[in-house]
Amino acid sequence: MHFSRRTLLAGAAAMVATPSLASSKANVVASTGMIADMVRTIGGAGVEVKALMGPGVDPHAYRQTRSDIVDMTRADATFWHGLYLEAQMEEFMLDLGTKRPVHAVAESVDTDLLIGSEDYENRFDPHIWMDPDLWVKCVPAVVQALTALRPNDRELFETNASAFIAEAEALSVYNRAVLEAVPEPARVLLTAHDAFGYFGGAYDFEVMGIQGISTESEAGLNRISTLVDMLVARQLPAVFVETSVSDRNIRALIEGAAAQGHTVIIGGALFSDAMGPDGTYEGTWLGMIDHNVTSIARALGADVPATGRLGRLKGAA
Ligand code: ZN
């Protein structure tokens, strides 16, 4: 491919003055699927994006492999989430950033909009992709970083960014409408770890995770029995598993509630910190959020179509 391109250029040398580099794509690496999705959407035809973490991969626990290191060292730029989401990669990324263009995309958002950590000062809940209104605040940083790589494509990036923001706004409107259809006492989201704090804030849901905002610390038995008592007392109908976290704790909750005579179902497998399979609608950020919101709304009693906002969902409960 590269060879034939050079041959072609050589043949037309008299007419083509610009180097072939000007028309090739920028090669960038992204850490999570959600970051890759945003960079890919805004970059369009100007950028080739490689995601390090695929479906089902937990970013709190992920550590860069040898081939990831090679990819990032060779890339024109690396995009990661930041806010301590990729805790095991923190040191490597900060070091890489002293030598190569590295962008902590979520750290471009004003910290006044973020949820502070209860345990650490100057640490924030990183799960901002759960609220479309907040996630789009990362867009300007991505446009700026891509424009620095390819100044001639600025207009392309800005057009794609506007389209992305418009889709996110439509998603936000859908989310609000279907989640308002959940009966008020059932607006409680219980999941394996605390990935839904921004979701709860945006849609007025009470959210509880068995584990905290990172999956690194184990949940104690006390935590589980407190949540079981709460489930039973409030007669909640459903809890949720996550595709990137073990379902062991959620199953313990369900068994605990059953022992007290209350039946709780798994309301669905949510895409919390990773998207669905590559090449599917659920493997995009728009699709993952549609899947989550539609699954949550249906499991908690809202009468909304299983096929979601655009009629494209396959797996919503
Ligand atoms: Zn998480």
For 10-47, the pLDDT digits (tens) are 333 334 434 445 558 999 999 999 999 999 999 999 99
Ligand 1 center–CA 273 separation, angstroms: 5
Q: Which of 153, 172, 191 is the last residue of a domain?
A: 172
Pairing of strands 238-242, 102-104: unpaired
In the chain, the largest separation of any two C-alpha atoms, in whole Å, equals 83
d(CA 47, CA 25): 5
Ligand 1 center–CA 84 separation, angstroms: 10
Residue 121 has what pLDDT?
Answer: 84
Question: Of 126, 149, 167, which is closest to residue 78 (Cα–Cα)?
Answer: 149
68: tokens are 């990831």
Q: Which domain holds residue 267?
A: 174-299
- Which residues partner with 211 through β-bridges? 193
CA distances, 223 to each of 41, 171, 214, 249, 252 (Å): 40, 34, 15, 10, 11
Question: Is the separation of the CB atoms in 72 and 29 below 8 Å?
Answer: yes
Same domain, 202 and 125: no
Ligand 1 center–CA 106 separation, angstroms: 14
Q: DSSP secondary-structure letter at 145?
A: H
Residue 162 has what pLDDT?
Answer: 98
In a domain, 85, yes or no: yes
Same domain, 181 and 168: no
Question: Phi then psi for 13, rounded to 5 degrees?
Answer: -55, -35
Residue 284 has what pLDDT?
Answer: 98
* R_g (Cα) of the chain, nearest Å: 22
Same domain, 159 and 207: no
Q: Which parts of the chain have pLDDT scores under 70?
A: 1-23, 315-317
Same domain, 9 and 133: yes
Q: DSSP secondary-structure letter at 113?
A: G
Residue 315 has what pLDDT?
Answer: 61
In a domain, 92, yes or no: yes
In a domain, 131, yes or no: yes
Ligand 1 center–CA 4 separation, angstroms: 45
Ligand 1 center–CA 214 separation, angstroms: 5
Residue 287 has what pLDDT?
Answer: 98
Ligand 1 center–CA 206 separation, angstroms: 17
Burial tier of 97 (Cβ tally within 10 Å: 0-12, 13-18, 19+): middle
Residue 130, Cα to own-chain centre: how many angstroms? 7
Same domain, 198 and 66: no
Residue 156 has what pLDDT?
Answer: 97
d(CA 189, CA 194): 10
Which position has the token pair 């057009």? 159
Ligand 1 center–CA 175 separation, angstroms: 20
Domain count within the chain: 2
Residue 317 has what pLDDT?
Answer: 53
Question: Phi then psi for 240, rounded to 5 degrees?
Answer: -130, 140
Same domain, 50 and 97: yes
Ligand 1 center–CA 18 separation, angstroms: 46
Same domain, 25 and 140: yes
d(CA 99, CA 135): 28
Ligand 1 center–CA 211 separation, angstroms: 9
Ligand 1 center–CA 263 separation, angstroms: 27
Q: How far apart are the first and last CA of the chain?
A: 45
In a domain, 33, yes or no: yes
In a domain, 308, yes or no: no
In a domain, 13, yes or no: yes
Residue 18 has what pLDDT?
Answer: 41
d(CA 107, CA 82): 6
Same domain, 149 and 198: no
Q: The domain that contains 205 carries what CATH number?
A: 3.40.50.1980
Same domain, 103 and 218: no
CA angle 79, 169, 107 (to 5 degrees): 30
Same domain, 197 and 164: no
Q: Which residues contact 111 (CB under 8 A, 6 or more apart)?
A: 124
Same domain, 150 and 14: yes
pTM for this one? 0.90
Same domain, 6 and 86: yes
Residue 125 has what pLDDT?
Answer: 96
In a domain, 219, yes or no: yes
